[in-house]
Amino acid sequence: MKIDYTAIVKQDGDWWIGWVEEVPGVNAQERTKEELMNSLREALREAIELNREDARSAAHGDFVEEPLVL
């Protein structure tokens, strides 16, 4: 399943800074826009994996995963 996310990016002096609009706390700062986009992708992957682990841990044992489509 492919999910699209939105990166909000801007150049601030010598730095590029950015945020993933849909996921609080996913942000990065790099020297180039390309490096920024790569860092945002990696930060998003890590955040999703951590959230997945937290949710599974909170469910304690038997649970069912159901697709959720907006």
Query: Distance from CA of residue 33 to its chain's centroid?
Result: 17
Token reading at 19: 């945020």
Say whether pLDDT at 11 is over 80.
yes
| The pTM of the whole model exceeds 0.85 | yes
pLDDT confidence band for 68 (50 / 70 / 90) = confident
- The residue-averaged pLDDT of 3-28 equals 97
Using CA atoms, how far residue 69 sits from 1, 14, 66, in Å, is 11, 40, 10
